[in-house]
């Protein structure tokens, strides 16, 4: 376990991760596999710890965005199959094969380059991505699809393990475009000479809303972390999700301001009366963005407004009264009857909940709880740029 020397930390409740996946396991038809999406350091929650917990709870596959993230999981001892959802380089096919990492393929020219460059004898697993309307990555042409399937079939070491697509609007109430994409996927699947072993299309929203249209694997991301894919479909979710991420700090300075005294850069905040002001060691370099000025935190079980500009490493809050240095402050999570959810922070930032935990940077240590006890502490400070 790492130690850390600044009183700001994130707590990851792996019991919540476990329950979110175990509940999905119970919710899905037996033959539907669960692919745990752990890209971007598991949406800021800690890639290896979340991956291990998800696998324990019934996931059988992992997904990341880029090859480096998959290699990092292998280095951390994860042995489960991993799919790279994003683009990779044709010259990295050997590296992927060596580590049993499946790659997404969606261009014939890429596949031809990979075939020309691959000198290995280990099997190379591909998932062919079809663009049914997300407009990001994916093949759209029948002839190109057939040529790609034929090339893979001809190659002695290439294996078409899966085929998939990604929905643009599964988290919206109106299902017109979702249905268009689903139907498009059904017809594009007919372009293949055979059905690969794994066919998948559903992200969290599609999984939880339309489990009967998930084929035989789902790609479970945001709701594994206990977050609804969007506020509009939150009431439609089939079971309660448990939020896994919380964020805490401690008062490092407390002072009383007289009326007219100022706080922070730009002296934009002026005390209106005698006010108790606390300083906490978290700022925008930790992902606690400047736009969170005027938002609030919890201290002594009460809401406390963030006053003055958020600095790179610190910010100031107006306290309900004199409190001792060292008092715990909760920026995301619960104190007594008061809760600040990730959705609350996202709403204030006018963004989506996905972005909030992803923003909490490497500089904030993560403490992992399993069975209500600390099972790991990760402090990446000092590791960035070295072999972790
Ligand atoms: C291809 C693909 N599959 C599955 C998921 C998981 O989706 P979920 O977290 O809604 O369950 C994502 C998430 N990708 C992104 C989420 O936000 N921006 C993205 O690019 C994805 O890009």
CA nearest ligand 1 atom 14, residue? 221
- Same domain, residue pair 219 and 114: yes
CA-CA distance, 200 to 106, in Å (whole number)?
A: 15
* Count of the separate structural domains present in the chain: 2
The ligand 1 atom nearest the CA atom of 129 = 1
Q: Which residues pair with 270 in a beta bridge?
A: 262
Predicted confidence at residue 155, as pLDDT, reads 97
Instruction: Specify if 138 maps to a domain.
Output: yes
Confirm if 286 and 279 have CB atoms less than 8 A apart.
Answer: no
Instruction: Specify if 383 maps to a domain.
Output: no
Instruction: Specify if 195 maps to a domain.
Output: yes
CB neighbour burial string for 241-260, b if at least 16 within 10 angstroms, e if fewer: bbbbbbbbbbbbebeebeee
Predicted confidence at residue 181, as pLDDT, reads 98
Determine the structural domain holding residue 200 and report its residue range.
31-225
- Same domain, residue pair 188 and 259: no
State pLDDT tens for residues 138-191: 999 999 999 999 999 999 999 999 999 999 999 999 999 999 999 999 999 999
- Same domain, residue pair 253 and 319: yes
- Same domain, residue pair 75 and 169: yes
Instruction: Specify if 303 maps to a domain.
Output: yes
- Same domain, residue pair 216 and 135: yes
The ligand 1 atom nearest the CA atom of 85 = 1
Instruction: Specify if 193 maps to a domain.
Output: yes
Helix 67-75 to helix 47-56 angle (10° resolution) is 70
- Same domain, residue pair 251 and 219: no
How many Å lie between the centroid of ligand 1 and the Cα of residue 34?
14
How many Å lie between the centroid of ligand 1 and the Cα of residue 354?
9
Give the end of a domain, one of 225, 257, 275.
225
Does 312 carry a binding-site annotation? yes
Give the end of a domain, one of 225, 259, 285.
225
- Residue 36: which of 73, 71, 77 has the closest Cα? 73
The verdict on whether 239 is a catalytic residue reads no
Instruction: Specify if 351 maps to a domain.
Output: yes
- Residues in the chain predicted with pLDDT less than 70, given as ranges, are 384-388
- Same domain, residue pair 199 and 303: no
Instruction: Specify if 373 maps to a domain.
Output: yes
Confirm if 71 and 101 have CB atoms less than 8 A apart.
Answer: yes
Pocket test residue of 132, 203, 215, 217 for ligand 1, highest count of atoms within 8 A of CB:
203
Predicted confidence at residue 383, as pLDDT, reads 73
CA nearest ligand 1 atom 13, residue? 221
Predicted confidence at residue 388, as pLDDT, reads 45
The secondary structure of residue 133, as a DSSP letter, is: S
Instruction: Specify if 47 maps to a domain.
Output: yes
User: What CATH number is attached to the domain comprising 118?
Assistant: 3.20.20.10
The verdict on whether 39 is a catalytic residue reads yes
- Same domain, residue pair 137 and 90: yes
Pocket test residue of 82, 219, 234 for ligand 1, highest count of atoms within 8 A of CB:
219
Residue of 18, 39, 61, 182 marked catalytic: 39
- Same domain, residue pair 336 and 198: no
State pLDDT tens for residues 50-81: 999 999 999 999 999 999 999 999 999 999 99
The ligand 1 atom nearest the CA atom of 35 = 4
- Same domain, residue pair 180 and 54: yes
How many Å lie between the centroid of ligand 1 and the Cα of residue 41?
13
Helix 14-27 to helix 47-56 angle (10° resolution) is 40
- Same domain, residue pair 313 and 200: no
**Full DSSP string of 177-198:** HHHHHHHHHHHHHTTSSS--SE
Give the end of a domain, one of 156, 191, 225.
225
CA-CA distance, 195 to 190, in Å (whole number)?
A: 9
User: What CATH number is attached to the domain comprising 326?
Assistant: 2.40.37.10
Predicted confidence at residue 387, as pLDDT, reads 46
Residue found under tokens 């079809």 = 130
CA nearest ligand 1 atom 5, residue? 203
- Same domain, residue pair 148 and 262: no
How many Å lie between the centroid of ligand 1 and the Cα of residue 338?
30
Q: pTM for this one?
A: 0.97
Q: Count the neighbouring beta carbons within 10 Å of the beta carbon of residue 181.
A: 23
How many Å lie between the centroid of ligand 1 and the Cα of residue 83?
13
The ligand 1 atom nearest the CA atom of 65 = 22
Ligand 1 first shell, C-beta below 6 A? 37, 85, 166, 203-205, 219-222, 229, 354
Predicted confidence at residue 382, as pLDDT, reads 75
């Amino acid at each position: 376990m790492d130690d850390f020397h600044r009183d700001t930390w994130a707590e990851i409740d792996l019991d919540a991760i476990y329950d979110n996946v175990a509940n999905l396991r119970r919710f899905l038809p037996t033959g539907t596999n669960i692919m745990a999406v752990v890209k971007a350091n598991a949406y800021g929650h800690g890639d290896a710890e979340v991956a291990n917990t998800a696998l324990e709870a019934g996931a059988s596959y992992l997904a990341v965005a880029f090859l480096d993230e998959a290699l990092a999981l292998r280095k951390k001892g994860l042995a489960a199959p991993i799919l790279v959802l994003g683009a990779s380089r044709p010259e990295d096919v050997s590296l992927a094969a060596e580590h049993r990492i499946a790659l997404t393929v969606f261009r014939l020219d890429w596949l031809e380059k990979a075939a020309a460059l691959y000198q290995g004898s280990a099997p190379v697993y591909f998932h062919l991505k079809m663009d049914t309307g997300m407009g990001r990555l994916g093949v759209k042409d029948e002839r190109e699809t057939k040529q790609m399937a034929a090339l893979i079939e001809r190659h002695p070491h290439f294996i078409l393990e899966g085929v998939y697509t990604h929905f643009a609007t599964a988290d919206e109430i109106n299902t017109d475009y979702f249905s268009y994409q689903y139907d498009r996927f059904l017809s594009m699947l007919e372009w293949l000479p055979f059905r690969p072993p794994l066919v998948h299309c559903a992200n969290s929203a599609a999984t939880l809303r339309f489990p009967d249209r998930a084929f035989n694997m789902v790609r479970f991301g945001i709701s594994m972390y206990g977050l609804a894919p969007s506020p509009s479909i939150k009431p439609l979710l089939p079971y309660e999700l448990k939020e896994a991420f919380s964020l805490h700090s401690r008062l490092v300075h407390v002072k009383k301001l007289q009326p007219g005294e100022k706080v922070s850069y730009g002296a934009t905040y002026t005390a209106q009366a005698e006010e108790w002001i606390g300083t906490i060691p978290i700022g925008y370099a930790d992902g606690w963005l400047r736009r969170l000025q005027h938002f609030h935190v919890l201290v002594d079980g009460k809401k406390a407004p963030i006053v003055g500009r958020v600095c790179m490493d610190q910010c100031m809050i107006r306290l309900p009264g004199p409190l001792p240095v060292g008092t715990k402050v909760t920026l995301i999570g619960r104190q007594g009857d008061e809760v600040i959810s990730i959705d609350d922070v996202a709403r204030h930032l006018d963004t989506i909940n996905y972005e909030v935990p992803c923003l909490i940077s490497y500089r904030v240590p993560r403490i992992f709880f399993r069975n209500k006890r600390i099972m790991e502490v990760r402090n990446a400070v000092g590791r960035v740029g070295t072999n972790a």
